[in-house]
Amino acid sequence: MTSDQPSPFTTGLSGPAPEMSVSRDLVKRGLLVLPLLCLVAGVIWGMNGAYSCAFAVALVLLNFLLAALIMAWTAPISLALMMGASLFGYLARLGLIFLAVLVVKDFSWVSLQALGCTIIVTHLGLLFWELKYISASLAFPGLKPGKQESSPVQP
Amino acid sequence: MEVLARLAAAAADPAEAKNIAAAGSAGFAYGLAAIGPGIGIGIIFGNAIEAMARQPEAAGMVRTTMFLGIAFTEALALIGFVVFILLKYA
């Protein structure tokens, strides 16, 4: 690396943090579908399933928020710190999820099948849902869903 | 020492030996399931930082797609975790 190139150890990213808005979107959508997920889990696994489903959705949403917070907090400081914090954050978040499940696994209201299935379905479902909006707004910013009425595309 | 004592007891009891082997296998599988996403997240980050260094004006777009890519990669680890939990405790 030559001296005129910026060092990743000292270069930070200024400006707004897009991952925070993505994670806020994910949380909003997660809260939106929470009753439906609890209803489905309740029908399949009973009341314990519904409670476990709510707990799993809370875990997934907190995981998204924590990941975004770590990136948004470290990005203005330095790129290297952001990379390190995100990689170790990945391990820490997995550990936290493991710990959270380990703590509640013996409670009477926990159905492990419902908990596990909801974690996977919610995580992937919310991401694919968000991906649709991100793809549309990255390809054609004017076509961002939900903003069409306020900012029509100019030909 | 406690582990050795349990292993010695397990040698005499096949059911206990089976339980210990199942727990060890589930833990090993979870560890393996976490390695792949760890490598994947490293690759995503490396390439994203290179992209931001080349085109700083596109940093917002890169960060958005990087965040989603990391979350998708993390799903693999979560699937491994759920399989581990179901095998071990359900």
Looking at the domain assignment, is residue A148 inside a domain? no
Q: Which of the residues in chain B have pLDDT under 50?
A: none
pLDDT for position A78: 86
> B2-89: which CATH number, 3.40.30.10, 1.20.120.1200, 3.90.1300.10, 1.20.20.10?
1.20.20.10
Is the Cβ pair B41, A22 closer than 8 Å? no
Contacts with A101 from chain B: Cβ below 8 Å = 85
Looking at the domain assignment, is residue A33 inside a domain? yes
Domain range holding A52? 18-132
Stated pTM of the model: 0.81
What lies within 8 Å, CB to CB, of A96 at 6+ separation is A63, A66
CB pairs under 8 A between A and B: 100
The helix, strand and coil proportions of chain A, stated in percent and rounded to the nearest 5, come to: 75, 0, 25
Tens-digit pLDDT string for chain A (155 aa): 555 666 767 777 777 888 898 999 999 999 999 999 999 999 999 999 999 999 999 999 999 999 999 999 998 888 888 888 988 998 899 999 999 999 998 899 999 999 999 999 999 999 999 888 887 777 665 555 555 444 444 44
Q: Please indicate if any CB of chain A lies within 8 Å of the CB of B77.
A: yes
Looking at the domain assignment, is residue A51 inside a domain? yes
Please name the member of B67, B79, B85 whose beta carbon is closest to the beta carbon of A19: B67
Looking at the domain assignment, is residue A78 inside a domain? yes
Q: Please indicate if any CB of chain A lies within 8 Å of the CB of B78.
A: yes
Q: Into how many domains does chain A fold?
A: 1
φ, ψ at A154 (rounded to 5°): -85, 135
